[in-house]
Structure 1
Amino acid sequence: MEKETPILYVITGGPGSGKTTLLDELGRKGFITVPEEGRRIIKEQLSLNGEGLPWINKILFAKLMFEASAAAYQKISRIPDLKTAFFDRGILDTIGYLKTENIRVPEEMKTQAGAMAYHKNVFILPPWHEIYENDPERKQTPEEAVLTFDCIKETYLEFGYHVIEVPKDTLQRRLQFILEKIGADNSDSAVS
């Protein structure tokens, strides 16, 4: 019997828009969730006194983030009997990051990202100044968060995804919005 292809959703957007909080709530509801790689890499590089930080070496940071995102995608997509998973950012977020920083995106990165498809519906959280906070891993200004949102949205659209903006609302209403949208998905097709 052939293994059923899992449905892999992406929740993305600029920094500080509530993605991680929403993913945490999806996890509490029993869904498999995959944490953001960028934040983990920043913490790791800070502890190692490394250079792969967005405020020191943007290209190295993007390379580490892309490799980690691709590895997480491969790992999750191979879980036996997995039905649905949600990623806190997807592989294409690295390409969006490079565009935000006006850094050329390597062709091999585009090819590899295109080969690892998620569900066609990608959830994007808009910039939300009222909840935006800086922390040791998030040093962007609110204006940079808006630019990041725009570049990420553009990138997913370029790769053929249907981008669904999650309204600024309470956590429970945002959760309900996503659950209704995934319930309405009649197809588990990914972008090919």
Structure 2
Amino acid sequence: MPNFVISGGPGAGKTTLLNALQTAGYHTVDEASRVLIQEQVAEGGRCLPWVDLPCFARLALHRMIFDYHQTSTQPGSSATFFDRGIPDIVAYLRVAGLPVDSAFYEAVQQYPYQQQVFMAPPWEAIYVNDSERWQTFAEATSLHNALVDTYLSLGFTIVPLPLAPVADRVAFIQQTVSSCNVL
């Protein structure tokens, strides 16, 4: 079963798109970071990206590996779509000017995704802040650029998603995936 990543800066419509893909019958994996932030806040934890990014990055890596293993047990789906991939952690660490431990690069190799990564570009018209999304739109745009650079440096091909309604984005992904001959 092919594993595709949908990435992009915060607030670019990834979660809405993944929900639509799930409705269309695909297996999807929620963004690990959002869930981890909610858990850490509820527990009063300090392993948060704005408090201790290295700690949070390690926690996110473990959750993403767990999620990756879980997808291998999902029957009947022709593809899985991840809301962010392990290279996203590398990008966030790079943006913060922090060292990237070899464990992150090893995980990129051990838990492979399809070469084509769907990248949601910054989209100011839909951008909103919430309890897990604290970045400004300018910061989200900067993160998007870092994500593109990171995925490219790791050998992935970027497939930019159109700034379009979610149904059009789903159709675009379905057409792109079918032309990749992986389904």
Q: Distance in 1 between matches of 2:170 and 2:115?
A: 19
Displacement, 1:80?
4.4
Classify the secondary structure of the residue corresponding to 1:52. coil
2:129 equivalent in structure 1: 134
2:80 equivalent in structure 1: 85
Classify the secondary structure of the residue corresponding to 1:111. helix
Q: Distance in 2 between matches of 1:42 and 1:21?
A: 19
The answer for unaligned runs of 5 or more in structure 2 is none
Matches within 5 A, 1:70-149: 70-80=65-75, 82-149=77-144
1:156 correspondence with 2:155: no
Classify the secondary structure of the residue corresponding to 2:108. helix
Displacement, 1:83?
2.7
2:9 equivalent in structure 1: 14
Give 1:174's match in structure 2, choosing from 165, 169, 173.
169
Confirm or deny: 8 A CA contact 1:13 1:125 kept in the other structure.
Answer: yes
Confirm or deny: 8 A CA contact 1:128 1:168 kept in the other structure.
Answer: yes
Identical amino acids, percent of aligned pairs: 36
Displacement, 1:78?
3.7
TM-score (norm 2): 0.95
The answer for unaligned runs of 5 or more in structure 1 is 1-5
Confirm or deny: 8 A CA contact 1:123 1:164 kept in the other structure.
Answer: yes
Q: Distance in 1 between matches of 2:13 and 2:103?
A: 31
What is the root-mean-square deviation of aligned Cα atoms in Å? 1.2
Classify the secondary structure of the residue corresponding to 1:130. helix
Displacement, 1:82?
4.3
Task: Please list the CA deviations of residues 23-43 of structure 1 after superposition, one character each: whole Å capped at 9, or x if unmatched.
Answer: 000000111000000000000
Post-superposition, which runs of at least 4 consecutive aligned residues in structure 1 deviate over 4 A? none
Amino acid of the structure 2 residue aligned with 1:95:
V
